[in-house]
Amino acid sequence: ILNVEQSPQSLHVQEGDSTNFTCSFPSSNFYALHWYRWETAKSPEALFVMTLNGDEKKKGRISATLNTKEGYSYLYIKGSQPEDSATYLCATPNTGNQFYFGTGTSLTVIP
């Protein structure tokens, strides 16, 4: 079992604020790191798949960085909007194709 931890557990920010949260994972035998956004009553939606140390990925106002040597990834949201309200999940697979998920960060953006 791979221990994947996310912090904070929940976050409330004002519309327009920028925010970030963390995913920590075992740095040994790293294979990939996935970020998902899960809105209420919808399916989890893939944001990024990151594989290389130092990777930075961006999708609109959302970006992510990866440090495989120390075992963490940051997700950043610039200028948060109410539609960004969701739970953000990270997951890492082992080489046997089994994925391990963190418990998620629940983001609420207050208009």
Q: Which residues bind other proteins (CB under 8 A)?
A: 1, 4, 31-32, 34, 36, 42-46, 49, 51, 89, 91, 93, 95-104
Q: Which is nearer to other proteins, 28 or 95 (CB)?
A: 95
Nearer to other proteins, 41 or 111 (CB): 41
Q: Given the complex with other proteins, which of 19 and 87 has the nearer CB atom?
A: 87
CB 88 within 8 A of CB 77: no
**In the complex, minimum distance from the CB of residue 18 to other proteins, in angstroms, rounded to a whole number:** 26
62-67 sheet: strands from edge to edge:
5-7, 19-24, 72-77, 62-67, 56-59
Minimum CB distance to other proteins, residue 30 (Å):
11
Cβ atoms 92, 4 nearer than 8 A = yes
Smallest distance from other proteins to CB 1, Å:
6
Alpha carbon 98 to its chain centroid, in Å, reads: 18
Structure tokens at 58: 């961006």
